[in-house]
Amino acid sequence: MQKKIIRRNLEITEKFSSPDLHPLLHRIYSVRGITSSTQLECGLERLLPYHDLLGIDKAVSYLAESLRLQEKILIVGDFDADGATSTAVAVRALKSFGAQQVDFLVPNRFTFGYGLTPELVNAAKDYSPAIIVTVDNGIANNAGVAAAKALGIKVIVTDHHLPGLTLPDADVIVNPNQPGDKFVSKNIAGVGVIFYVMLALRRHLSDIGWFKEKNIHEPNMSHLLDLVALGTVADVVALDHNNRVLVQQGLRRIRAGLCVPGISALLEIANRNQARLVASDLGFAVGPRLNAAGRLDDMSFGIACLLTDNAAEAMKMAMTLNEMNDERRLIEQDMQGQALEILAKIKPDKQTELPKGICLFDPQWHQGVIGILASRIKDRFHRPVIAFALSNENEIKGSARSVSGLHIRDVLAHIAAKYPHLIDKFGGHAMAAGLSMPRAAFKEFTQRFDEVVSQYITDEQLNNFLMSDGELQSNELNLEVAEVLRAAGPWGQAFPEPMFDGVFELLDQRLVGNKHLKMLLIGNEQTVDAIAFNIDIEKWPNHRCKQVHIAFRLDVNEFRGRRNVQLIVENLAEA
């Protein structure tokens, strides 16, 4: 779908003064809401204090007592990258504190479903835990928490997802989104929450002389920030100031080679330069490969890759994860083709409008890939999408993705309240959610979803557009500025990487890799390379076209030791 380009309001008042900043970067930061140079500082001293997290002191007390008694601690994770990194952070931290009986359990999505379910608690009995710590899940698992408590197992829930009307009856909950919590960063990922819990536990243990008593070298918690950065970026949470600090500190450790072998191996497999890593490399290269384990098989394998300290073992696991990811891509491509066929039947001609909320289901679809499918269809048609797959003969599971301005979990909550027979359970946050429901309810749910989305969203929000930071001047279209922007992040959700637009003369164009358009452009009397990925091969190359209007990001292309500026084209149209 051709996107409308909207230029940000560049006529802004001077919001803050920072004479050392490049003028272009100053403008970019200003329109992203930066009002003080302190908001750009990403040192660890800028992290929010852990004391504001409701329940954290109680969680620390329980964990410290478990350490003292050397009780069995079981970490229950989630089957995505945030859940995998959260699990690895918890296990690594507790072991470094001297825990001798700590293990992890991650539900296989095809067997147990999401989170601490009663079925998973039954499986957890084999570990004989005295205490269960959930990471990146648990806030919606009331029945599972109750099942664990009935067995005499203490439960600490650490999560970041939005709670339901009733909280689980856990011994303690640490979640910045629970009622009464004063922690400012409501956007923190699950891995950030458990990092804060471990940070508080380390401080408590230090204060009571635990490390000296046990002759343990006091752990440096910054050693875990590579995992925190990966989970935060991969979960696509908003990069508020606190999250930018966590990500930036993690990136610095990875660039310096101070990360777990699993991350280094995944970067090598993905052909990414570890020394020049940026946040998007974690999101587009490492995250998908790690996620592939949870989508196609069992995330325990991905977690094992993050827990090993053996580089050769990590590389072997990374190669397997890469093979899984390649398989996932093939499955996804087939499912996309089938989804487009379904949509073509819904919208048989150009005059017919697609529903404002799209629901798609095929009994043959892979349950582990429907989240990516929903995301791809959402990106293509700029509408909230739920893709469903069979859970069993009578139940289907859906994965929802939303567009900016529509809180998808609120939509599901509205439907569940008004039509309780349609949804068995649901959970999530603003941009992504999951649900399960009777297979027989799909047709009615599809109708109700469109109706409720139509109440929540405006026609303007359904317009597919890109926000541009304007046109670059001739002295800004160069390698130096590209390097400045690359180093100025971390960029990500709610703190978007700078994008520009302009009209260029099209000097040369050719297909590479069958679906990418390599171009040579001239603008402001400068010649520059550009590439547009996954273009419409029915429209491009277009050798009649002499001028193009593009929206693009400045990037640095490295080839055979040479570095050149390159435009990454996000939208391409004849001028």
Q: What is the pLDDT of residues 213-255, one digit of tens each?
A: 999 999 999 999 999 999 999 998 999 999 999 999 999 999 9
Residue 19: is its pLDDT beyond 80? no
Q: Which residues pair with 287 in a beta bridge?
A: none
Query: What confidence score (pLDDT) does residue 218 get?
Result: 95
**Is 381 strand, coil or helix?**
helix
Q: How far is residue 485's CA from residue 541's CA, in Å, rounded to a whole number?
A: 30
Provide the greatest CA pair distance for the chain.
78
Residue 11: is its pLDDT beyond 80? no
Residue 2: is its pLDDT beyond 70? no
Amino acid at 37: S
Q: How far is residue 60's CA from residue 57's CA, in Å, rounded to a whole number?
A: 5
Average pLDDT, the chain: 93
Name the DSSP class of 100.
S
Confidence tier at 10 by pLDDT (50, 70, 90)? low
Count other C-beta atoms under 10 Å from residue 279's C-beta.
24
Percent of the chain at pLDDT > 70 equals: 97
Query: What confidence score (pLDDT) does residue 207 get?
Result: 97
Of 481, 449, 466, 557, whose CA–CA distance to 512 is shortest?
557
Please state the φ and ψ torsions of residue 459, each to the nearest 5 degrees: -60, -35
Q: How far is residue 104's CA from residue 207's CA, in Å, rounded to a whole number?
A: 28
Query: What confidence score (pLDDT) does residue 348 get?
Result: 65
Q: Give CB contacts under 8 A, 24+ apart, made by 503-510.
A: 503/547, 503/548, 503/549, 503/575, 504/528, 504/530, 504/547, 504/548, 504/550, 504/575, 505/546, 505/547, 506/545, 506/546, 506/547, 506/548, 509/540, 509/541, 509/542, 509/543, 509/545, 510/541
Joined tokens for residue 455: 């109440």
Cβ atoms of 190 and 174 closer than 8 Å: no
Joined tokens for residue 130: 């005295």
Q: DSSP letter string over 232-256?
A: HHHTT----HHHHHHHHHHHHHHHT
The residue-averaged pLDDT of 378-383 equals 92
Confidence tier at 330 by pLDDT (50, 70, 90)? very high
Please tell me which residue, 404 or 360, carries the higher pLDDT value.
Answer: 360
Joined tokens for residue 173: 């909950």
Q: How far is residue 128's CA from residue 124's CA, in Å, rounded to a whole number?
A: 7
Joined tokens for residue 69: 């008694």
Confidence tier at 191 by pLDDT (50, 70, 90)? very high
The residue-averaged pLDDT of 550-556 equals 94
Please tell me which residue, 458 or 100, carries the higher pLDDT value.
Answer: 100
N-terminal to C-terminal alpha carbon distance within the chain:
17
Q: What is the pLDDT of residues 495-537, one digit of tens each?
A: 999 999 999 999 999 999 888 999 999 988 889 999 999 898 8
Count other C-beta atoms under 10 Å from residue 549's C-beta.
14
Query: What confidence score (pLDDT) does residue 461 get?
Result: 82
Confidence tier at 15 by pLDDT (50, 70, 90)? low
Q: What is the pLDDT of residues 35-72, one digit of tens each?
A: 888 999 999 999 999 999 999 999 999 999 999 999 99
As a dihedral over the C-alpha atoms of residue 116, residue 120, residue 126, residue 130, rounded to 10 degrees, the angle is 20
Joined tokens for residue 112: 């147990």
**Rg, Å, the chain Cα set:** 24
Query: What confidence score (pLDDT) does residue 329 get?
Result: 94
Query: What confidence score (pLDDT) does residue 131 get?
Result: 98
Cβ atoms of 401 and 385 closer than 8 Å: yes
Confidence tier at 557 by pLDDT (50, 70, 90)? confident
Burial of 267 (0-12, 13-18, 19+ CB in 10 A): buried
Most confident listed range (89-103, 485-499, 556-570): 89-103
Query: What confidence score (pLDDT) does residue 114 get?
Result: 83
What order of strands is seen across the sheet that includes strand 358-361? 358-361, 385-392, 395-401, 432-438, 425-428
Q: Structure pTM?
A: 0.92
Query: What confidence score (pLDDT) does residue 489 get?
Result: 87
